[in-house]
Amino acid sequence: MSSCPGTKGRTTRSHFKRPATPMGGVASDSGESDCSQLSSVSQMSTASKTARARKRTRTTAWSAQAAVESMPESDKDALDRLAKENADLRSQVASLKEAVSGLKNQLNLLSQQGAQQKSQDLSVSAGLAPDTEAQLRRSIAIEVGAMMDAKLAALEGRLLPEKFACGNSHFGCKRCTTGNSKFSGHHHVGECPQPMVSFASAAQSKPLNKPSVKLPKVPTLAAITVRVREGSNVGLGEVLAEARRRISLSEFGITSDSCREKRAADGGIVFMISGENSSAKADRLASRMREVLGEFDVQIGRPTKFAEARVMDLNDAVTPEEAGGCSTEEIKIGEIRRPPLSLGHVWVRGPLVAMKKLASDKRMPLGWTSVRVEVLEPRRMMCYRCFESGHVRRMCTSSVDRSSQCYACGGAHKARECISPILKCPVCSDQGRPSNHRLGGKNCQPQKKQSQKKLQG
Classify residue 76 by burial, with Cβ atoms within 10 Å: 0-12, 13-18, 19+.
middle
**In 3D, which of 321, 307, 317, 363 has the Cα closest to residue 344?**
317
Cβ contacts of 314 within 8 Å, gap of 6 or more? 323, 336, 338, 343, 344, 345, 346, 366, 371
Q: What is the pLDDT along the chain (457 residues), one digit of tens a residue?
A: 444 444 444 444 444 444 444 444 444 444 444 455 555 555 555 555 567 777 777 787 777 777 666 666 667 778 888 888 899 999 999 989 998 988 888 888 888 887 777 766 666 555 556 677 777 888 888 888 888 877 777 766 666 555 544 544 444 444 444 444 444 444 444 444 455 544 444 445 555 566 677 787 888 888 999 988 887 888 888 888 988 899 888 888 888 888 898 998 888 889 999 988 888 999 999 999 999 888 888 889 888 888 888 888 888 777 666 665 555 567 788 888 888 888 888 888 888 888 888 888 888 888 788 888 888 888 888 888 888 888 888 888 888 888 888 888 888 888 888 888 888 888 888 888 888 888 887 788 887 765 444 444 4
- CA-based torsion, 149, 154, 157, 159: positive or negative: negative
The reply to whether 306-375 shares the fold of 223-301 is yes
pLDDT at 38: 52
pLDDT at 363: 86
CATH fold, domain 223-301, is: Alpha-Beta Plaits (3.30.70)
Between the CA of residue 431 and those of 321, 400, 446, what are the distances in Å?
42, 12, 8
**In 3D, which of 10, 56, 6, 58 has the Cα closest to residue 32?**
6
Residue 255 identity? T
> Tell me: domain 306-375, CATH 3.40.50, correct?
no
Domain ranges of the chain: 2-71, 144-204, 223-301, 306-375
Q: How far apart are CA 243 and CA 246, in angstroms?
A: 5
pLDDT at 7: 45
pLDDT at 417: 84
pLDDT at 320: 65
Q: How far apart are CA 360 and CA 436, in angstroms?
A: 35
